[in-house]
Amino acid sequence: MNKQLKFKDGKFKIMVLGDIHERLIIDNKEDELKQKDAHKLFEMGVKAFQPDLVVLLGDTCSEYQECEDYTLLHKQALERILKPILDANIPMCYVLGNHEHDARREKEIVKAYEQIDAFIGENDESAPGDFNCNILVKDSKGEEDILNLWFIDSNNLAEDQSISKYDWVHEDQIKWYEKKAQEIKDNHNGKTIPAILFQHMPVIQEYDLMREAKPYEYFWSVPGFIGPLENKRFVKKDGVEGYLGEGPCSPAIDKGQFKSWKKVGDVKAAFFGHDHLNDFTGVVDDIILGQNKTSGFHAYTDGCRATIRMITVDEAEPEKINTRIYHFKDFGLKSESLDFIQRNFNDRTLINTNKVIAGALIAGGAIGIGALIKHFMG
């Protein structure tokens, strides 16, 4: 496979998959049908959009099993999970998710990716973390670098759970990014190459895309995830596209990653996984922030709203990033793994429906008890 990426007919197209959460080994009918549904989505994305690159946003295979050769086991699982993309001979790159870190076998997982020819991008050994890299994309003639792609390791759980559930991108990683960005600029006669960044966990600045919910908005709002925001409920601000199904599960600690993007000036858009129910897209300080729902049917999911994100960059204006979300149901696909409720209602709808039912039962019970007291007390 040609590992050099370039624009084709003036466009560069990226298909993004998030949090597939597939099994290492499939040994039952239920898991077989869930993988079959995921394959339908991948096949449709490849057929409809013919992407130049596929990006995996982490937690692609979220299981760990003791075995003699974990690299081989993980490689075989990846080849099974990603078969529709491998069959189409499309280059891929990835970031590690927190569940891949859970296994504590990161080097073997990275090695498994390296052994699959379709995967491009090499870990920069000078970077802190287990897999960080950048890939430069050339113009249609294959002559000039006009787009840069960053792939950043956002780590796992925080050591001190009292300050943040999830770890954050550390200062030494930020320094590596800034140093590497300067090297790229120096190698291109002082020109800043527009960039798109991919990492698993979102940045805390996603909360700038939201506002506190008003009382009447309770049933379509979500609770905050971090620190003082946990006791507040949020809805999207006007102009933010897509779906907000849960409070962004970002780290509570911000060591300046977003601020660094602003200082360097190359990152035009950043895309994240981790949150299975969010697929919103908005702009904070001129940088596009986009979430991907899960692209699979395991773990907690959003039924037939399993998602692929398409990113399209025009060669004439590589600093302008166009993106759109597509759901499983948008393609008219039929699920074989979901029941009627899962096929027709998303998780947020079910949660809110349960709240309404519970509220009605409590209110009804209170009225009934009041009537009984009134009856017996005369």
Query: Which 8-state DSSP code applies to residue 118?
Result: T
The H or E element that residue 346 is part of is none
* pLDDT reported for residue 365: 59
| 254, 229 Cβ separation under 8 angstroms | no
* % of the chain surpassing 70 pLDDT: 90
| 22, 38 Cβ separation under 8 angstroms | yes
Distance CA 347, CA 245 (A): 8
- The least confident of 15-19, 80-84, 125-129, 179-183 is 125-129
Radius of gyration of the chain (CA): 22
What is the per-residue pLDDT across 71-97, written as a single tens digit (0 to 9) for each? 999 999 999 999 999 999 999 999 998
DSSP annotation string for 121-170: ----TTSSSS--EEEEEE-TTS-SEEEEEEEE---SB-S-TTT-SB----
DSSP annotation string for 47-97: HHH--SEEEE-S-SB------S-HHHHHHHHHHHHTHHHHHTT--EEE---
What is the per-residue pLDDT across 117-169, written as a single tens digit (0 to 9) for each? 999 999 999 998 889 999 999 999 999 999 999 999 998 878 888 888 888 89
| 181, 42 Cβ separation under 8 angstroms | no
* pLDDT reported for residue 342: 74
Query: Which 8-state DSSP code applies to residue 316?
Result: T
Distance CA 247, CA 73 (A): 34
Residue 190 has pLDDT above 70, yes or no: yes
Query: Which 8-state DSSP code applies to residue 326?
Result: E
